[in-house]
Amino acid sequence: MDEKREQFLAGERPDDVLLYFDERAVEGMDRLAKVGESVDGGVVLVLPGEEGRSAFQRAVGVDPMTLAQSAMGSESEIDRGCTGGVCPDSEQDGDHFARFVFAFAEEQNEDVGGLYAEGDVIHAYARCDCDTTYSEKWVAED
């Protein structure tokens, strides 16, 4: 895992966003791999917030906040490395994969309580190849 993604997942890059693109879902993977981290089956980029949100929208044609809103109502497991997940609809017909993941970190906030009192929180949102969106959030690990 590259240093930027490791720092992001530890909650140390709250101004950045993480983007994961599955190689089966996005064209121009070679170009993305030049600026990101190649992982099994795709590419991960950690970019400054606004730049990352714009890059995500250009790559997949979806505003990341629209993705987040549609995914919030459906929680399911997202890989802690933010490179995939378990579609909530996969129990019905099996073969699913996350086309993309968008994630951001929120700094610890004891006033809010819950997870936010425990530490920095990673918010991750995914869209499956079946078009189901889902999300998960967790306390970042050092």
Say whether 133 sits in a helix, a strand or coil: strand
Beta-bridged to residue 19, according to DSSP, are: 45, 102
Q: Residue 117: pLDDT band by 50, 70, 90 thresholds?
A: very high
pLDDT reading at 31 higher than 90: no
Do the Cβ atoms of 17 and 49 come closer than 8 Å?
Answer: yes
Q: Residue 99: pLDDT band by 50, 70, 90 thresholds?
A: very high
Q: What is the DSSP letter of 138?
A: E
Say whether 32 sits in a helix, a strand or coil: helix
Name the CA radius of gyration of the chain, rounded. Answer: 14
pLDDT > 90: what percent of the chain?
80
User: Per-residue pLDDT tens for 45-56?
Assistant: 999 999 999 999
Q: Residue 93: pLDDT band by 50, 70, 90 thresholds?
A: confident
Token pair recorded at residue 112: 């809010």
CA angle (48 as vertex; 83, 70 as ends), nearest 5 = 55
The length of the chain is 142
- Global confidence as pTM: 0.94
Token pair recorded at residue 25: 């879902």
Q: Residue 43: pLDDT band by 50, 70, 90 thresholds?
A: very high
Provide the residue range defining the domain that includes 88. 3-139
- At residue 142, the pLDDT reads 64
**Of 116 and 33, the one with more pLDDT:** 116
H or E element that contains 67: helix 64-71
**Of 27 and 102, the one with more pLDDT:** 102
Mean pLDDT of the chain: 93
Number of domains comprising the chain? 1
